[in-house]
């Protein structure tokens, strides 16, 4: 069970850093248009677009990424809790 939880935490951590890097790239449009920026956009943009529907940008600030990161954290913790409870009940 510990390996599964570590794997989930590892995947969520990678996705967190992908979102964080994508947000930092938004300050430099040339970087976002690079190959790496486009690859990150393919992975990150569908997730962030969910939050952009409800939270429009305020001037130059796009708070949807911050809300998306918080939601990602809560999803991770919830998934780990469910798996822990599930495997605990199977013992």
- Per-residue confidence (pLDDT) for residue 57, from 0 to 100: 83
- Going by C-alpha positions, the residue among 40, 42, 63, 61 that lies closest to residue 52 is 63
CA angle 79, 85, 90 (to 5 degrees): 125
* 71 has a pLDDT exceeding 70: yes
* 79 has a pLDDT exceeding 90: yes
Tokens representing 82 are 């469910």
* 91 has a pLDDT exceeding 90: no
Domain locations in the chain as residue ranges: 2-86
Sign of torsion, CA 36 38 39 43?
positive
């Amino acid at each position: 069970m510990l390996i599964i939880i570590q794997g989930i935490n590892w995947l969520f951590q990678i996705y967190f850093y992908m979102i964080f890097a994508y947000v930092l790239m938004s300050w430099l449009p040339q970087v976002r248009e690079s190959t790496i920026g486009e690859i990150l956009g393919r992975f990150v943009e569908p997730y962030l677009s969910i939050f952009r529907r409800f939270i429009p940008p305020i001037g130059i600030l796009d708070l949807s990424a911050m809300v998306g990161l918080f939601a990602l954290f809560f999803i991770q913790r919830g998934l780990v809790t469910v798996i822990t409870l599930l495997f605990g009940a199977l013992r």
